[in-house]
Homo-oligomer: A and B are copies of this chain.
C-alpha cells in the first residue's frame, strides 16, 4: 500500500512518498541553484523548507546543508542525516500533517511544478570512475575484439575492473551532446580523422558517494553502503572508432571524455531498500577484502528508447536490469579504496554498461548491432550507430506494491560536430 500525501500523485509516478529523490534546481533562470526533492509532479524546495525552520530534527535543525548550491555538504553528513531528512520530508508531505498542507503561502513557495524548474547537476563531482561490472557486456566486447578464446580477461573474475573517467564533461539530462571529432581506427595504414562514425550510448547507473575516506585508509566492504548516498541513471556516451584506436595500452580516453549524462534525481539507497535482491554467486570466490556478508543488487528495470532524428515517436531499443551486475556497488567501492585511494563526497562510480544475457537486453549499440554488422530498427528507420538529431532516453524504475520508485529519465540529443 502506498503512503499517502496531501499532494495528488498518479500511481504511475516515479516520485511518490516512498521515493523522495534529491536533486538541484533553479526555480527560474535568474535564481540561485538549491537542493530539492521530487514529489509527484512537483519539486519541494529544501531551501524554503530550511528557511521556514521545518527541518527540526537533532542533526539538521541548525544545518545550512540545504542552503548550498549543490548536495555535497549533505552527502558528507552521512546516513544519520539522510535518514532524518527523509523522515522529516515524508512527514511534512503526508496527508495528515498540517504544517505545509494548510499553509497556502508556504506551499506556493515550497512546491514548484517540476515542468517549470531547471534541473542542474546535483553535486560537484571531484572524481568520476567507471567500472565494467556486467559479465555479459565484458563477454560481448571480448568476443568482438579478442575472439572466443579469451573473451573475458582472467583478471575480470578477481576484481571489479575500472578506469578513471573525465569529471569536467559530466552533464545533466537534457544537455545536447556534440558529436566528438577524433582519430578513428585505420583500415589501411593511416588513421582517419573527423566526426566520429560510431557514436554510441552506454546504459549505466552510477553510485553517488557520501562520506569519503582518508588517503591511505580503505573502506571495509561490509561498511561500504554507509559511503553510498544513492544511485542515478548514467549514459556513458562512447565513440567506438576513437576508442578502438586509442585504448591500447592505457584504456579509454577521448572516446569517452566528450560527455557523460546523468539523471537529475538521486534515488537514495534508503528508498531502494525494498527492491534489494541477491547478487549473482561469484566463482571464483572473491578475496577476503571483496567478500561481503550480504551481497546485494537492486531490482531496477532499465529501458533505452531512441527518438530518431526528425521524428517524434520513440522506439525501445533495449530492456535490461540493474540486477545483472556481477560486482556489486559495495564491492566496487571497497575495491576502489583498497589501495588507499581517497573518495570524496559527490564522487561518481559508474557501474559499466549493464547488459543482460539476451540480445534484447544488451546495453549499447556496439553489442546490439554487433559493431555495426546488423541494424536496430526504429519504426521505419534503422541504425548501426547514432546519427545527428537522434535523442536517447533512459528510464529506470522499481515496481512496488501499488507504487514505483523511479529514476525519471536520463536523455540527450546528438548535435553535429563544431567544424
Which A residues are within 8 Å of any B CB, using their own CB?
Answer: 126-127, 129, 132, 141, 153, 155, 158-159, 161-169, 171, 178, 180-183, 190-191, 193, 215-218, 239, 242, 245-255, 257-259, 284, 287-289, 335-336, 338-344, 347, 417-418
- Given the known inter-chain contacts A158-B191, A418-B217, please indicate yes or no for A127 contacting B338, CB distance below 8 A: no
Given A167-B167, A168-B342, the answer on whether A250 and B248 have CB atoms closer than 8 Å is no
What is the distance, in angstroms, from A223's C-beta to the closest C-beta of chain B? 15
CA distance A278 to B418 in the complex (A): 32
Interface contact B126-A167, CB-CB below 8 Å: yes
Partner of A254, one of B190, B288, B338, B343: B338
Give chain B residues whose Cβ lies under 8 Å from the Cβ of A166: 127, 164, 341
Q: Please measure, in the bound complex, the distance between the C-alpha atom of A161 and the C-alpha atom of B253, giving whole angstroms.
A: 8
Number of copies: 2
Contact A247 B242 (CB under 8 A): no
Do residues A284 and B190 form an inter-chain contact, with CB atoms below 8 A?
A: yes
Q: A190-B284, A257-B164 are in contact. Are A340 and B180 (CB under 8 A)?
A: yes
Q: A132 CA to B250 CA in the complex, in Å?
A: 9
Bound Cα distance from A218 to B195, whole angstroms: 13
A-B contact pairs, 8 of them (CB 8 A): A127-B168, A163-B253, A164-B165, A168-B344, A178-B215, A178-B216, A181-B338, A254-B341
Query: Complex formed: what's the CA distance from A289 to B195 in Å?
Result: 13
The interface residues of chain B lying within 8 Å CB-to-CB of A158 are: 183, 190-191
Greatest chain B CB density within 10 A among A163, A245, A255, A344 is at: A163
The docked-state distance in angstroms from the alpha carbon of A341 to that of B256 is 9
Question: Mostly helix, strand, loop or mixed at chain A's interface?
Answer: loop
A159 and B339 form a contact (CB under 8 A) = no
Residue of B nearest to A249 (CB): B153
Most chain B C-beta atoms within 10 Å of own C-beta, residue among A163, A249, A250, A335: A249
Which 9 residue pairs spanning A and B have beta carbons closest together? A251-B251, A178-B216, A180-B339, A164-B164, A163-B250, A254-B339, A257-B341, A250-B251, A258-B339
Among candidates B155, B254, B340, residue contacting A181 with C-beta atoms closer than 8 Å? B340
Q: Which chain B residue lies CB-closest to A343? A: B168
Q: What distance in Å separates the Cβ of A417 from its nearest Cβ neighbour in chain B?
A: 8
Contacting residues, chain B, for A155 (C-beta < 8 A) = 191, 245-246, 248
Option from B164, B182, B191, B342 in Cβ contact (under 8 Å) with A338: B182
Min C-beta distance of A246 to chain B, whole Å: 6
Question: Is the beta-carbon distance between B339 and A242 smaller than 8 angstroms?
Answer: yes
Say how far A245's CB is from chain B's closest CB, in angstroms. Answer: 6
Q: Does the CB pair B215–A169 fall under 8 Å?
A: yes
Decide if B246 touches A161 in the complex (CB within 8 Å). yes
CB distance from A255 to the nearest CB of B (A): 8
Residues of B within 8 A of A171 (CB): 215
